[in-house]
Structure 1
Amino acid sequence: MSAFVVRDGFVAASDAPGAPAAHFGNPLGEQRLLARGRAVVGLGLGVVTVSGPDRLSWLNSITSQQLTGLPTGVSTETLVLDQSGRVEHAARVVDDGAVVWLLTEPQDAAPLAAWLDSMRFMLRVEVADRSADFATLGWFGEAAPFASTVLPDPPVVEWVDPWAAVTPGGWSYAAQEAHPGSDWTLRIAVVTPGTSAAIAASDEPVAGLLAYEALRIAAWRPTLSDADERTIPHELDWLRSAVHLTKGCYRGQETVAKVHNLGHPPRRVVQLHLDGSDAVLPAPGTPVMLGDKEVGRLSASAVHHELGPIGLAVVKRSLDPTATLTLTADDVVVTAAQETIVPPEAGATANVPRLPRLGAVKRS
């Protein structure tokens, strides 16, 4: 059970046991507090640990990021790809000097741990799914909103999202003058259940996942929830933070290099600015239409406290970036304007002009 169920207004994000809060009765108010670094959000992430002296070199050999020699306490992100370069797993990574902590979407923790365990062979590593042992709390800014709260245990480890800048060895396809992720200051703490319960029982402001999701979409920040069975990292602009283009071989690397150096991703992510006139919000998975033709799928949607209804959608590369699209929700047709994230010409050799933002958002 989520520790925050004791808070007034708690509404669970799903029917799953222990699901975090979707909101506490005021999603937009919670979102404003979260954006200003004044609230904490229970993320309910999966927690997988890898211990042993070979942990970093082993993970380096089987995932997309450069992990050999990762300094203690430095945060990064990595992907597990299949032989064709499609995304199978994604993990936020930080090493505490003895253990690598992998934070992933809750539904991916057990599959990721099982896959890693199957790849150990004779190496000196141990893999464990520790999701039931810890909670994950997120906030924006350097100082945690709960820093003044008396906690029974300090955070076990803290992960700092690298999304604000292109990581070493990475590449960003976004061609905007001001990338909305440049002020993305997300931090995630792994804490004990006792610490989570102490914060829940305090007067510290809290926010639900609806608030976090709106901020994530506005920052163009991809997660595993935006991927499907065909997704390659280029389509979500995930080379920016989760792929090292010049590291050694790993499964799927040939596709990563070939698409980036010689071609273009077959699909591309766009941000959608949705018409909110009818007060309906299309759900993730909704088809994105151009006239009577399906041209993509919505992967995420939310109501942002400044931008209004927004979403992320993966569409065909050939789609006209200026075309007005439609989605249907509750039998209501919702029109949507596109904002280009990954341009049709994306690739190492592309000469993409810098584009103005449709609606820059700064946190204050």
Structure 2
Amino acid sequence: MPERGELVTLPGAVPPQDDASPDQGVPWHFGDPFGEQRAAARSVAVVDRSNREVIAVPGEERLSWLHLMISQHVSDLHEGEGTEALVLDSQGRVDAHMVLAHASGTVWLDTEPGASATGARGDRQSLLEYLIAMKFWSKVDPRDATDEIAVLSLLGPSAPSLLESVSLPAPASLYAVAGTDVLVRRMPGSFDLLVPRAERLAWWERLTNAGARPMGSWGYEALRVEALRPRLGVDTDEKTIPHEVNWVPSAAHVAKGCYRGQETVSKVHNIGRPPRRMLLLHLDGTADTLPATGDPVQAGERVVGRVGTVAQHHELGPIALALVKRSVTPDTPLTAGGASAAIDPDSVPPDTPGLGREAVRRLHS
């Protein structure tokens, strides 16, 4: 079995310099992080994301059981389909985020390293321990599959043709899953490849030999920030609810019921006004240092949010995701960790229209 950090030792690979990075064990970049981003934007790049944990859920009741455990509607998830989902606590706050792929009688869940959830007694458990504890008499058998499966991601407009060149399918619809030994799942802006971990290096070489440029987590994270895609534990804190980070409806279904935290999801969706919202900040590139994850976002002396992912983008320069109070207007001058910051107005999500109290207010106005 190859070591999980095998690709970090490839020629030209630079490991993360921050010991606290959630991407320890995968390459940070390959010598030219901006060139890697440009390749992903204009042609195709491949990223090692094999630090993600993978959980396999086989068993004849896998769909009906998962339907009760997670925030997404999966009771009718067909073979060859995938989705995103969350585990919430009883107050509707996000415990875990995962991406699903249903294939060959198994639902594969890939999630962040060290994913955990709040147990029945209020204690923190690994996500796998939580799922096992909730098994009861259901005909399912969740197991750790991280030593079986590794995740690689392809980004860029040429990704479909490159997949074809290495005899892999390129699913046409979002979250569709295809393949046998290697599963290919279409994601927003990318394709995830779930490859046998023992063949990870061989597939990396096959993809790069076919024309995919190696890209590290630096470039992947910068493009994720540009696309306003949150990352659990970086762009979220212990109070985050799904609406604040655009996980409704992509990862949380507002109408299915029967899952922990559903009341909060439904209530906030109907009101249409979460207390905070995730925004893209443009940072002052002349500052000596950039903010760090967890630093305060301030309007004058008032703390109005927290910094999430901070990235250096090949076109936008220094940018960050931040959770900011929804009362803050897009033209408000801000500082993030002491550096000047401006809200990208295109990142401001609209309030949910025509629902709940807002609908009643308009009816009587």
Amino acid at match of 1:7: L
The aligned residue for residue 190 of structure 2 is 186
Distance in structure 2 (CA, Å) of the matches to 1:195 and 1:217: 30
Q: Give, in angstroms, the shift of residue 347 of structure 1.
A: 6.0
The size of the alignment, in residue pairs, is 324
Distance in structure 2 (CA, Å) of the matches to 1:268 and 1:320: 11
SS at match of 1:132: coil
The aligned residue for residue 114 of structure 1 is 129
The aligned residue for residue 275 of structure 2 is 266
The aligned residue for residue 30 of structure 1 is 36
Q: Give, in angstroms, the shift of residue 145 of structure 1.
A: 4.2
Distance in structure 2 (CA, Å) of the matches to 1:96 and 1:106: 23
The aligned residue for residue 143 of structure 1 is 160
Query: What are the equivalent positions in structure 2 for 1:289-300 lying under 5 Å apart?
Result: 289-300=298-309
Deviates more, 1:255-264 or 1:16-25: 16-25
> Which whole-Å deviations, capped at 9, do the CAs of 1:243-265 have from their partners, x for residues lacking one?
12221321111111111113521
Q: Give, in angstroms, the shift of residue 348 of structure 1.
A: 5.2
The aligned residue for residue 216 of structure 2 is 208
The aligned residue for residue 5 of structure 1 is 8
Q: Is the 8 A contact 1:37 1:145 kept in 2?
A: no
Amino acid at match of 2:192: I
The aligned residue for residue 66 of structure 2 is 59
Deviates more, 1:77-86 or 1:28-37: 28-37
Query: Are 2:265 and 1:256 equivalent residues in the alignment?
Result: yes
Distance in structure 2 (CA, Å) of the matches to 1:250 and 1:50: 18
Amino acid at match of 1:11: V
The aligned residue for residue 21 of structure 1 is 27
> Which whole-Å deviations, capped at 9, do the CAs of 1:193-240 have from their partners, x for residues lacking one?
343211444654210001010111111112213221100001011103
1:22/1:154 CA distance change after superposition, 3 Å:
farther
Deviates more, 1:270-279 or 1:194-203: 194-203
The aligned residue for residue 174 of structure 2 is none
Amino acid at match of 1:324: P
The aligned residue for residue 222 of structure 1 is 230
Q: Is the 8 A contact 1:83 1:252 kept in 2?
A: yes
Distance in structure 2 (CA, Å) of the matches to 1:336 and 1:213: 19
Amino acid at match of 1:132: D
SS at match of 1:239: coil
SS at match of 1:240: coil
| Aligned counterpart for 1:316 among listed residues 325, 330, 333 | 325
Root-mean-square deviation over aligned CA pairs: 2.6
Amino acid at match of 2:256: K
> Which whole-Å deviations, capped at 9, do the CAs of 1:62-86 have from their partners, x for residues lacking one?
2111101111111211111111110
Amino acid at match of 1:249: C
Query: Are 2:101 and 1:94 equivalent residues in the alignment?
Result: yes
Q: Give, in angstroms, the shift of residue 319 of structure 1.
A: 1.7
Distance in structure 2 (CA, Å) of the matches to 1:144 and 1:230: 42
Amino acid at match of 2:341: A
| Aligned counterpart for 2:340 among listed residues 335, 339, 355 | 335
Amino acid at match of 1:78: A
The aligned residue for residue 362 of structure 2 is none
1:69/1:149 CA distance change after superposition, 3 Å:
closer
Q: Give, in angstroms, the shift of residue 285 of structure 1.
A: 1.3
Distance in structure 2 (CA, Å) of the matches to 1:154 and 1:5: 27
The aligned residue for residue 165 of structure 1 is none
Amino acid at match of 2:113: P
Query: Are 2:110 and 1:75 equivalent residues in the alignment?
Result: no
The aligned residue for residue 170 of structure 1 is none
Name structure 2 gaps, 5 residues minimum. Answer: 117-124, 169-178, 360-365
Amino acid at match of 1:335: S
SS at match of 2:249: helix
Of all paired residues, the percent bearing the same amino acid is 42
Distance in structure 2 (CA, Å) of the matches to 1:40 and 1:67: 29
Query: Are 2:183 and 1:157 equivalent residues in the alignment?
Result: yes
